[in-house]
Amino acid sequence: MKKIEAIIKPFRLEDVRLALQEVGVVGMTITEVKGFGRQKGHTEMYRGAEYQVDFLPKVKIEMIVNSDDVERCIDVITNTARTGKVGDGKIFVIDVDRVVRIRTGEENNEAI
Give me the torsion for CA of 83, 91, 35, 97, rounded to 10°. Answer: 160
- Strands of the sheet containing 56-65, edge to edge, are 29-35, 56-65, 2-8, 89-95
Give this prediction's pTM. Answer: 0.84
pLDDT exceeds 90 at position 70: yes
Is the model more confident about 85 or about 95?
95
How many whole angstroms separate alpha carbon 106 and alpha carbon 68? 20
Give the model's pLDDT for residue 49.
Answer: 73
Give the model's pLDDT for residue 56.
Answer: 83
Give the model's pLDDT for residue 109.
Answer: 87
Number of neighbours of residue 46 by Cβ within 10 angstroms: 8
Q: Where are the beta strands (DSSP E) in 1-112?
A: 2-8, 29-35, 42-46, 49-53, 56-65, 89-95
